[in-house]
């Protein structure tokens, strides 16, 4: 089976790497906080001490990092070590501009697929993510992405990254609106259970379920980063206001986005 290097073992990366191990792929993992890699070592993964060491001799590299800055840092280390014929599957939420910059920096003979995902930790563990793939997707890369969930082929390079920014900001905006609607219901003396039930039965039902979720782990800090990707690309006054609110909530930065439902003004 294809030898894979998986870089980035956060709340999403770890269960995704586990799925590759369970499928029998020879897997090398790396994470900037080395302790996060140790459980995967016990499960059969080889643990690299650096990004360069992780990718030496592998045909497929997967990155699942926190954002554009982390991707830049890893790219600087990876580029000299990538062999001809390597496929780099970039799964972080970084936006299409970062994907274009990465593509332009790649050595000749290295192919890039952008494939961010929709879904949270539970979906990553069960292999039911929605994978948004941009670029030329074929062979082992296509097979590996199917380990993570359903694959939507979005179009040319960068199209998966672009669609992810669109979809995740719809989620963020929806959660922010539902959280404020629940706060309004409280202020007006509306029965909380009745307000939630009525909201869930309406057009915001999906956003209500996400706002009330206790199983996800998509932090307020990451959501603020993702709103920044959107507001940097278009004039979006509503999302800009949401982003300002998220960035102001240092008390919630490491909590899941659903913590907005309990936040006080």
Helix (H), strand (E), coil (C) string for the chain: CCCEEEECCCCCHHHHHHHHHHCCCCEEEECCCHHHHHHHHHCCCEECCCHHHHHCCCCEEEECCCCHHHHHHHHHHHHHHCCCCCEEEECCCCHHHHHHHHHHHCCCCCEEEECCEECCHHHHHHCCEEEEEECCCCHHHHHHHHCCEEEEEEECCCHHHHHHHHHHHHHHHHHHHHHHHHHHHHHCCCCHHHHHHHHHCCCCHHHHHHHCCCCCCCEHHHHHHHHHHHHCCCCCHHHHHHHHHHHHCHHHCCCEHHHHHHCCC
Which residues are known catalytic residues?
164
CA 172, chain centre distance (Å): 13
């Amino acid at each position: 089976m294809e030898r894979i290097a998986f870089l980035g073992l956060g709340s999403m990366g770890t269960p995704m790497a586990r799925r590759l191990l369970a499928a029998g792929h020879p897997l090398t993992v790396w994470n900037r906080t080395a302790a996060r890699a140790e459980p995967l070592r016990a499960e059969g993964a080889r643990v690299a001490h650096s990004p360069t060491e992780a990718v030496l001799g592998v045909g497929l590299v997967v990155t699942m990092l926190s954002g554009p800055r982390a991707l830049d840092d890893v790219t600087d280390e990876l580029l000299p070590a990538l062999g001809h014929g390597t496929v780099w599957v970039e799964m972080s939420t970084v936006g299409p501009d970062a994907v274009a910059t990465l593509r332009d920096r790649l050595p000749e003979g290295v192919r890039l697929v952008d494939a961010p995902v929709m879904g949270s930790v539970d979906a990553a563990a069960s292999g039911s993510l929605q994978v948004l793939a941009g670029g030329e997707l074929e062979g082992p890369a296509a097979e590996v992405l199917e380990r993570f969930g359903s694959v939507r082929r979005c179009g040319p390079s960068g199209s998966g990254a672009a669609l992810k920014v669109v979809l995740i900001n719809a989620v963020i905006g929806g959660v922010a609106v539902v959280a404020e609607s629940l706060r309004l219901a409280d202020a007006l003396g509306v029965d909380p259970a009745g307000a939630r039930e009525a909201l869930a039965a309406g057009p915001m039902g999906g956003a209500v379920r996400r706002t009330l979720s206790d199983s996800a782990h998509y932090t307020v800090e990451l959501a603020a980063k993702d709103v920044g990707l959107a507001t940097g690309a278009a004039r979006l006054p509503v999302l800009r206001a949401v982003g300002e609110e998220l960035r102001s909530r240092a008390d919630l930065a490491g909590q899941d986005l659903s913590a907005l439902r309990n936040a006080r003004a």
